[in-house]
Amino acid sequence: MTVDLDATVSPSLTRDLLKWISQEYHDINGSSFQTLQSPPTPAEFAQIVHISRPVVIKGFQIPALKRWTDDYLRSKLQDQPISVAITPNGRADAIAADPGGKLFFVEPFTEEITIVKLLEALNTAEQESDDTSASYLQSQNGNIYSSRSFESPKDDPSEFGALREDVPSNIPWVTEALGRNPDAVNIWIGNSKGVTSIHSDPYENIYTVIRGRKHFTLLPPTEGWCLRERLYPHAVYGRTDNSKDLIVVPSLDSPQVRWSSVINPDLPGSLPPEAHPLHITLEAGDTLYLPVGWWHYVRQSGPTTIALNWWYDAEVRGMNWVLLNLLRGTGNVPSGNDET
Amino acid sequence: MTVDLDATVSPSLTRDLLKWISQEYHDINGSSFQTLQSPPTPAEFAQIVHISRPVVIKGFQIPALKRWTDDYLRSKLQDQPISVAITPNGRADAIAADPGGKLFFVEPFTEEITIVKLLEALNTAEQESDDTSASYLQSQNGNIYSSRSFESPKDDPSEFGALREDVPSNIPWVTEALGRNPDAVNIWIGNSKGVTSIHSDPYENIYTVIRGRKHFTLLPPTEGWCLRERLYPHAVYGRTDNSKDLIVVPSLDSPQVRWSSVINPDLPGSLPPEAHPLHITLEAGDTLYLPVGWWHYVRQSGPTTIALNWWYDAEVRGMNWVLLNLLRGTGNVPSGNDET
């Protein structure tokens, strides 16, 4: 559905309306989050989804939590090639400048390496502040299970097939609450260099930390207007010749990408005073319910931080989708390069 | 919470925005409703609440359905006084004019009569088109169970105490889905003269027909702007001297009441073309989930139509309440009498 509020309401009035909604939302909901000491029942989780605020859930036990040492991962995955994102700065799918200062939305260079190489790269980079590049396994394409797993399990090959016995393909209390199977289940392996720039997803997200720590900075969908979304030309990181250096390579024929201009929402002054960021740190064994449309910026600590996430399609019926469209505001998004 | 969008966005732009939202909502959701052949599980009902669209539920069995003949009601209630709404036209809590043509929001005259008298009055009026007055048992104050029942059952006296064994005080699949007990459980007894004017409630509503038929005309919260809410002075019906005639008696010192100016949404031309009313008829044994904020106009057929409803407090956390406030639009509601 095309959102063009401007056909109806002018951009400056849309902005005023979005400010009004975000203020009302904050007056009612405040800036706190709930922590559950054990997983909810399906009906309890359905209530949580209806409220659509982040909840930390303790005690969601899965085999990966106890098993996934470096040795175990090496012995299970052996020589299996793994697609890893390589960037000069740890920021994949983020805004970056080319040498001339022009801004792009840049996707990572992807390299297929073994788990041995990946663990080595993460450890070395963490200890030696290797500034040449950062590795982050963040392929997020259903790299453990994709939706095909539920229709025809044999047609869902995975680089991590050997780890499937440690990861449930769906979470019973979520699947029953939402009445559907996940759309994708992903593994994430990185270190403190890997950062995920602030964005929102059209999914209900269950995010579990297996090793290390993840630090989330969250904004409700109502505060999206604080993030200055702009249009950026698309690019990917590439290597020239035999050099290991990565450069920004503009994509020909790719449409522009709408993305937040806020590079790091944790830096003082990055957000207007009307924003109320929520800071949540997940330790190993903690699970976050990250509701559809919530903006998230994610950092991690520890030499090898491993996480899993289950994405479930969000409910489109009812008011929720209309509302998320309204909160994304006007269709007239200016170019990010005009501002600089 | 005071809603004053006008402080931010002018009334005419608010109207344009509300039109935009209602169009988007209709594009996604259409005008259909779901019918379930048996009651949902708690998790299924929680999904239904999240979508917040009306659902007809078959097969919700309660003892009242088999037991409540006229004879049974008479033998159980005997001489118990029952508070019944008396109006000249069957329209309690509705807009009506005084002899000078000035419009008021008028509450009914309340009379305490026995079940014998009530059943007699309903039958006579239905058969003989008695135009002097209409009776409708619609006290809707938790007349079977109020919220006190769940804290201290002995402190919740009811005119219908003798019928409690036929009516569950809560519905397990609703109570578990919402995580709370009902706020009120009501019995409604009327005939085809009793009409409920279009309005919306801040409750999740479960409505079961025991005898006769109920005809609902529903509009989603997004189409509230089609109903021309206006401010009306408050009045009650009263009797002068020994006459049986009811007259409109203006209330002194009562605040004005915000109410729809649409007297009968089923009349052609009552609603703008942007409205998409949903028509649902419930037979005896049918149950309607009527979501919070949905506008409803209710007629009934049959000499003695009996219904029960369970009101559960709506979820205030999250976006729902903010959204319902937004959809009620500007705080500057004009007077209903200025328009005539």
- Residue corresponding to tokens 């990408």: A257
Find, among B216, B161, B183, the residue nearest to B33 by Cα: B216
Q: Give the residue among B324, B60, B246 at the shortest CA–CA distance from A319.
A: B324
Closest chain B C-alpha to A16 CA, distance in angstroms: 6
* Cβ neighbours of A29 (radius 10 Å): 20
Substitution target from B1, B10, B319, B323 for chain A, most A beta carbons within 10 A: B319
In 3D space, the residue among A237, A249, A306 whose CA is nearest the CA of residue A91 turns out to be A237
Over residues A275-287, mean pLDDT: 98
How large is the greatest C-alpha to C-alpha distance in chain A, in angstroms? Answer: 60
Q: Is A323 at the interface with chain B, CB within 8 A?
A: yes
Name the region of B320 (left: φ>0; alpha: ψ -120 to 50; beta: rest). alpha
Q: What is the mean pLDDT of chain A?
A: 92
Rounded CA gap, A195 and A93, in Å?
A: 10
Q: Is A12 on the interface with B (CB under 8 A)?
A: no
CB B14 within 8 A of CB B329: yes
* A176–B47 C-beta distance less than 8 A: no
- Per-residue pLDDT at B7: 63
Contact of A267 with chain B, judged by CB distance below 8 Å, is answered with: no
Give yes or no for B178 touching A (CB within 8 A): yes
Map chain B to HEC letters: CCCCHHHCCCHHHHHHHHHHHHHHHHHHHCCCCEEECCCCCHHHHHHHHHHCCCEEECCCCCHHHHHCCHHHHHHHHCCCCEEEEEECCCEECEEEECCCCCEEEEECEEEEECHHHHHHHHHHHHHHCCCCCEEEECCCCCCCEECHHHHCHHHCCCCCHHHHHHCCCCCHHHHHHHCCCCCEEEEEEECCCCEEEEECCCEEEEEEEEEEEEEEEEECHHHHHHHCEEEECEEEEEECCCCCCEEEEECCCCCCEEEECCCCCCCCCCCCCCCCCEEEEECCCCEEEECCCCEEEEEEEEEEEEEEEEEEECCCCCCHHHHHHHHHCCCCCCECCCCC
| B51 lies within 8 A of chain A by CB | yes
The answer, for B244 touching chain A at a CB cutoff of 8 Å, is no
Residue in A43, A179, A317 closest to B177 by CB: A43
| Alpha-carbon span B218 to B32, nearest angstrom | 11
A14-53 residue pLDDT tens:
788 889 999 999 999 999 999 999 999 999 999 999 999 9
What angle is formed at CA B20 by the lines to CA B18 and CA B25, rounded to 5 degrees?
A: 95
Q: What CA–CA distance (Å, rounded) separates B55 from A248?
A: 53
Q: Which two tokens stand for residue B52?
A: 């917040």
Task: Give the model confidence (pLDDT) of A88-109 as tens digits.
Answer: 999 999 999 999 999 999 999 9
Residue of A nearest to B46 (CA): A46
Rounded-to-integer distance, Cα B42 and Cα B48, Å: 10
In this complex, the residue of B49, B177, B322 whose CB is nearest that of residue A21 is B322
pLDDT one-digit tens code per residue, A56-89: 999 999 999 999 999 999 999 999 999 999 999 9
For residue B25 the two structure tokens come to 């909502």
- Report which of A39, A29, A1 is spatially closest to residue A310, judged by C-alpha positions: A39
B97 in contact with A, Cβ within 8 Å? no
CA distance B34 to B56: 6
Q: At which residue do the structure tokens 């440690």 appear?
A: A166
Say if the Cβ atoms of A8 and B28 lie within 8 Å: no
Please check whether residue B46 touches A, CB under 8 A.
yes
pLDDT at A315 over 70: yes
| DSSP annotation of A190 | E
Does the domain at A19-327 match CATH 2.40.128.20? Answer given as no
Instruction: Give kind and range of the element (H or E) at residue A43.
Output: helix A42-51
* Closest chain A CA to residue B24: A322
- Please say if the pLDDT value at position A153 is more than 90: no
Element (H, E) at A12: helix A11-29
Q: What is the DSSP letter of A48?
A: H
CA pair distance A4, A325, nearest whole angstrom: 9
Query: Position of tokens 């909810």?
Result: A40
What 3-state DSSP class applies to A315?
coil
**Distance from C-alpha of B132 to C-alpha of B26, rounded to nearest angstrom:** 42
Are the beta carbons of B334 and B259 closer than 8 angstroms? no
* Interior angle at CA A325, CA B293 and CA A226, nearest 5: 110
Residue B116 is which amino acid?
A: V
Report phi then psi at B127, rounded to 5.
-85, -35
Q: Which residues of chain B have pLDDT under 50?
A: 1-3, 340
The CA distance from A69 to the nearest CA of chain B, in Å, is 37
Task: Say which of B25, B316, B325 has its CB closest to residue A319.
Answer: B25
CB contact under 8 A, B24 and A1: yes
Q: What is the pLDDT of residue A3?
A: 46
Task: Please tell me whether residue A294 adopts helix, strand or coil conformation.
Answer: coil
Here the tokens at position A192 are: 């403190």
Antiparallel, parallel or unpaired: β B203-219 and B278-282: antiparallel
Q: Which residue of A has its CA nearest to B174?
A: A43
* Averaged pLDDT, A240-253: 87
Domain ranges of chain B: 19-327
pLDDT of residue A303: 85
In percent, the amount of chain A with pLDDT more than 70 equals: 94
Distance CA B279, CA B271 (A): 14
CB-closest option in B5, B16, B52 to A20: B5
Three-state DSSP state, A277: coil
How far apart are the two ends of chain B, measured CA to CA in Å?
A: 31
Tokens of A89: 């700065």
**A28 contacts in chain B (CB < 8 Å):** 1, 316-317, 321-322
